[in-house]
Amino acid sequence: MLTPLSWLQKYVDITVSPENLAHLLTMVGLEVESIDRFGENFNSDQIVVGEILEINQHPNADRLLLPKIRLSPSETVDVVCGATNLSPGIKIVFAKPGATLFNQKSGKFQKLKASVIRGISSPGMICSELELGIGLGHENILILDKNLEPGSSLQGIFSDTILDLSITPNRPDCLSIIGVAREVAAITNKKLSDPEISYKENSAVSKSSPVEIHIESLDLCKRYCGAVVENVTVGPSPTWLKSALAKMGHRSINNIVDVTNYVMYETGQPLHAFDLNKIQDSKIEVRPAKNKETLLTLDNESIELNPSMLVIADSKNPVALAGIIGGLNSSVTQNTTRILLESANFNPTSIRKTASGLKLRTDASYRFERNPNEALASKALKRAIHLIQKISNQNVSCGKIIDAPGAQLASMSLQIDGSEIEKLLGVKVSQEEALSVLHKLGFQSNPKSQPSFSNDWTAKISIPNWRSDIKIQEDLIEEIARILGYDQFPTSNISGSIPEYIPNIPLHLREQVRDACVEFGMQEVITYSLKNESLLSSVSSEDSQNFVNIANPLNSETKTLRTNLMVGILETLSSNQNFLKEGPVKIFEIGRTFINKPGSLPIQNEVAVGLISGNSSSEGWTNTKNRKLDFYDIKGILEGVLSKLKLEVKYIPSEDSLLIQGQSADILIEETKIGKVGKISGHILSSFEINETNTLLFELDLNTIYSRSQNKIAFKPFATFPTSERDLTVLAGADIPSEKIESIILASKLATKCIPIDIYKQGSDNQKKSITYKIVFQSTSKTLTANEVSNEIKTILLNLKKTLDVDFRDK
């Protein structure tokens, strides 16, 4: 809501600086987003009122004129001008060389220079709105009121300070100058003056221009006030009106339309003016549109209507989309002589649905959506008639206001209780203080006030009609608190008992996973949850029927909720690879995945994905053994992460098509798959434009892990007797997993550790592999002799031979 201070000043005396006023308004809930200086260039004596004395033709150009302009009783000047709306006697804005004007070509404010145009010197310029920086009109020059004195400054008329207020949806009353003025009056302890609404009524009009108003449904239109004005002369608005609208960023159209807009900004009540001669049978119907009816709007757009939309119609056709926009055919034009002014109250939900459905948000619909009070309708109409009479000739005559179905204004009241204020705010507020705030805001109370030093008081508060947002006692308490100032209230600490602690195990485990990933060298990333549907399909094992799609996506890249974290992590690698050519990339993400579940919320499980790519270490002077990252690097990280969760898992060869078979594994807890690990297939990498083929990942379904984790540690006493180490080399078929050999070795009671320390493949087709294990022997009860260890090894060899077809070396 733009609020020019000069306009505000008409209704409340402003005695503080604009900055201070902005601060005060912000504190009470009317946030000032900016303080704008309007028409700053008028603050110079280079821009003055001029009077056109005569208009001559430019000798060298058909389309240029040479008006003679009076700048003072003794000073005239001839300048070159191309505008078509010049006529002798009019008052214009004249800029002398040195004045700062908006230059349309450069798009900037620049100093005007005297120039020679087609051989004629032109020491100055007659200005349009655009050049003055107060509007967009630039084809016609701006015409000022006739009573302005040539040579006088325009500073007082156009220059202004404008506060740009952000009005919250609960305060439709503040979408108006009066509403803001009311707040200013309350917070600065000033009196609010009301706008003048008196006008002369001519009873003959109701006979000469009888109008019938019919409201079909009071649910859709609570009140419709109309008034006929005859003998109007449609023409340009006076300077003050043009200037007021320019400050609101609104174009001047003609005097009648300008008045309706002016009154809307001033009071918050949207109005509309119809050319009564264009209203068939002088009949106004407020009704739902009929199917396939159309309306040509003021914007020259044809809209197809339907019965969900409320229209204003004459006896035949819609003439306006109620509360949103008027129709072109019934609009006020130069030829209009009789008008019907409309000031109504429409159903906010209906207006909102229609306006958002048509994507046609106007100043009017914005205000009606916020449910202004119906009491405003007649008041604003009177104000508009007053202004039309004020700016028009003597002949305009206005008929009696038609009020359909007649105001039924219920006054609302609430009880306020001193103890409730103390309970909510945590401090006592005296009755005197509380009621004085409410009175300033226009509330009335019973009792009026009586000194009371306890919180034991109550009062009945009548709500003024413009405050339809006040519905419960808490709303009244907020009024008191915000005007007294939130900063004036004390602070305290919560005094009650601390709620019972309920451990959040999933969260705890997840954060352990996160910390472990970081500990083992990975950088956390967080990617978008919405993905391109086909990209997601290419890496998802989930049927696309189970995808959760967005009905109104921002674009096709953000259409579908992810079902896994692959897309995000691969995109991250892809976007980073160009500047990370040398070192390893190690990244991970933890986040939700989404799978549709008809009739309920989607399944929203948490998944962790880790990815490594490139070389084992960064370039550097200490780095002597660089190599490509491989399966055992990613598995090592994964094992580290899982060990933090005390999880025992097993690995079986994976058939996942995203991973290279033979270099990938499924991860199982007992028989339940909890994830996968391995090297990513080339076709996946190339579809993400990833150049590094040594790219590996793991993915863990955290929700399954949450339910399986035995995050309980019990101390086990450790043996203190010396250990003996022996190396054992096993020659086994290449398809025998080391895990099996290890488990047979560890079946020995004395073998406490078995670490594969060397491995190489042999045979013609790498059919055999030779693995050397370091086996650590230790007894919990004594020091082992060499003989005992040798015997144990013999048993192990025997078991290995018996269970698996293996050979041994270095016996």
Partner 1 sequence: MKATNETEKIISEQLSALNKIGTAENLEEWRVNTLGRQGVITSILKSISSLPAEERKAAGSAANQGKIRLQDAFGIKQKQLLANDSSNSNDSLDISLPGRPTTGGKLHIITQTIREISSVFVSLGFQIEEGPEVEWGKYNFDMLNIPQDHPARDMWDTLWVEKDEHTNSEPLLLRTHTSPMQARIMEASSPPIRVIIPGKCYRYEATDATHEWQLTQIEGLAVDADISFADLKGTLYEFAKRIFGRDRQVRFRCDYFPFVEPGVDMSIDCFKCSGKGCSICSHTGWIEILGAGMVHPNVFKGVNYDPDKYKGFAFGMGVERIAMLKYEIDDIRNFYANDLRFLSQF
Q: 10 Å Cβ neighbour count for 68?
A: 16
Stretch in the footprint of partner 1 (CB under 8 A) among 98-106, 128-136, 479-487, 763-771: 479-487
CB of 263 to partner 1, least distance (A): 22
Nearer to partner 1, 15 or 349 (CB): 349
- 657: contact with partner 1 by CB under 8 A: no
Nearer to partner 1, 90 or 463 (CB): 463
Answer for which of 204, 518, 747, 759 binds partner 1 (CB under 8 A) is 518
Stretch in the footprint of partner 1 (CB under 8 A) among 196-204, 458-466, 499-507, 677-685: 499-507
Instruction: Please tell me whether residue 59 adopts helix, strand or coil conformation.
Output: coil
- What is the 8-class DSSP label of residue 327? B
Stretch in the footprint of partner 1 (CB under 8 A) among 22-30, 531-539, 649-657, 745-753: 22-30
The strand ranges marked E within 314-379 are: 318-321, 325-326, 339-346
Q: Is the dihedral of CA 556, 562, 563, 566 positive or negative?
A: positive
Instruction: Please tell me whether residue 120 adopts helix, strand or coil conformation.
Output: strand
CB of 306 to partner 1, least distance (A): 17
In the block, tokens 């006054």 appear at 411
Nearer to partner 1, 65 or 611 (CB): 611
Q: Give dist(CA 501, CA 773) in Å, integer.
A: 48
- 618: contact with partner 1 by CB under 8 A: yes
Nearer to partner 1, 115 or 704 (CB): 704
Residues 6 or more apart whose CB falls under 8 angstroms from that of 129 comprise 135, 136, 137, 138, 142, 246
- 73: contact with partner 1 by CB under 8 A: no
Phi, psi for 726 (deg, rounded to 5): -135, 145
Stretch in the footprint of partner 1 (CB under 8 A) among 302-310, 314-322, 521-529, 744-752: 521-529
- 521: contact with partner 1 by CB under 8 A: yes
CB of 532 to partner 1, least distance (A): 15
Q: How far is CA 789 from CA 585, 725, 773, 806, 808, in A?
A: 45, 9, 15, 21, 17
Answer for which of 115, 529, 544, 687 binds partner 1 (CB under 8 A) is 529
Nearer to partner 1, 156 or 426 (CB): 426
Answer for which of 62, 487, 671, 735 binds partner 1 (CB under 8 A) is 487
Q: Give dist(CA 320, CA 327) in Å, integer.
A: 5
Size of the site for partner 1 (CB under 8 A): 97
- 604: contact with partner 1 by CB under 8 A: yes
Q: Is the dihedral of CA 5, 6, 7, 13 positive or negative?
A: positive
Q: Binding marks (x or -) toward partner 1, 50..69, rule CB under 8 A?
A: --------------------
Answer for which of 16, 33, 194, 541 binds partner 1 (CB under 8 A) is 33
- 482: contact with partner 1 by CB under 8 A: yes
CA atoms within 13 A on the CB side of 510: 17
Q: Which residues of 204-223 are buried (b: 16+ CB within 10 A; e: fewer)?
A: ebeeebebebebeeeebbbb
CB of 596 to partner 1, least distance (A): 8
- 530: contact with partner 1 by CB under 8 A: yes
Q: Cα 146 from chain centroid? A: 47
Stretch in the footprint of partner 1 (CB under 8 A) among 30-38, 258-266, 393-401, 793-801: 30-38
Nearer to partner 1, 561 or 741 (CB): 561
Q: In the range 396-425, which residues lie near partner 1 by CB under 8 A?
A: 423-425
Q: In the range 353-372, which residues lie near partner 1 by CB under 8 A?
A: 353, 369-370
Answer for which of 520, 651, 688, 773 binds partner 1 (CB under 8 A) is 520
Nearer to partner 1, 104 or 556 (CB): 556
Prior bond of 447 cis (ω within 30°): yes
Q: Give dist(CA 227, CA 380) in Å, integer.
A: 12
CB of 103 to partner 1, least distance (A): 26
Nearer to partner 1, 28 or 271 (CB): 28
In the block, tokens 């990833």 appear at 690
Q: 10 Å Cβ neighbour count for 584?
A: 21
- What is the 8-class DSSP label of residue 430? -
Nearer to partner 1, 258 or 369 (CB): 369
Nearer to partner 1, 216 or 519 (CB): 519
CB of 625 to partner 1, least distance (A): 12
Q: Which residues of 317-340 are buried (b: 16+ CB within 10 A; e: fewer)?
A: bbbbbbbbbbbbbbbbeeebebbb
Nearer to partner 1, 592 or 753 (CB): 592
Q: Are 449 and 431 in contact (CB under 8 A)?
A: yes
- What is the 8-class DSSP label of residue 28? T
- 640: contact with partner 1 by CB under 8 A: no
CB of 652 to partner 1, least distance (A): 29
The CA dihedral of 101, 106, 111, 112, to the nearest 10 degrees, is -70
Phi-psi region of 166 (alpha: psi -120 to 50; beta: other; left: phi over 0): beta
CA atoms within 13 A on the CB side of 258: 26
CB of 743 to partner 1, least distance (A): 30
Nearest residue to 783 via CA among 755, 753, 750: 750
Answer for which of 9, 26, 202, 462 binds partner 1 (CB under 8 A) is 26
Q: In the range 557-586, which residues lie near partner 1 by CB under 8 A?
A: 558, 561, 572, 575-576, 579-580, 585-586
Answer for which of 599, 625, 716, 786 binds partner 1 (CB under 8 A) is 599
Q: In the range 160-219, which residues lie near partner 1 by CB under 8 A?
A: 168-171
CB of 355 to partner 1, least distance (A): 11
Q: What is the largest CA-CA distance in the chain?
A: 131
CB of 657 to partner 1, least distance (A): 26
Nearer to partner 1, 84 or 549 (CB): 549
Answer for which of 289, 321, 477, 647 binds partner 1 (CB under 8 A) is 477
Q: In the range 291-350, which residues lie near partner 1 by CB under 8 A?
A: 348-349
CB of 592 to partner 1, least distance (A): 6
CB of 32 to partner 1, least distance (A): 8
- 550: contact with partner 1 by CB under 8 A: yes
Q: Give dist(CA 384, CA 378) in Å, integer.
A: 10
Bridge partners of 460, per DSSP, are 415, 446
- 639: contact with partner 1 by CB under 8 A: no
- 501: contact with partner 1 by CB under 8 A: yes
- 621: contact with partner 1 by CB under 8 A: yes
- 622: contact with partner 1 by CB under 8 A: yes
Q: Is 760 exposed, middle or buried (0-12, 13-18, 19+ CB in 10 A)?
A: exposed
Q: Are 745 and 754 in contact (CB under 8 A)?
A: yes
Q: How far is CA 285 from CA 302, 322, 341, 398, 808, in A?
A: 20, 11, 14, 21, 103
CB of 98 to partner 1, least distance (A): 30
Nearer to partner 1, 124 or 568 (CB): 568
Q: Are 649 and 667 in contact (CB under 8 A)?
A: yes
CB of 565 to partner 1, least distance (A): 12
Answer for which of 474, 655, 689, 758 binds partner 1 (CB under 8 A) is 474
- 34: contact with partner 1 by CB under 8 A: yes
Q: Are 301 and 331 in contact (CB under 8 A)?
A: no
Nearer to partner 1, 252 or 613 (CB): 613
Q: Which residues of 410-447 are buried (b: 16+ CB within 10 A; e: fewer)?
A: eeeebebbbebbbeebeeebbbeebbbbbebbbbebee
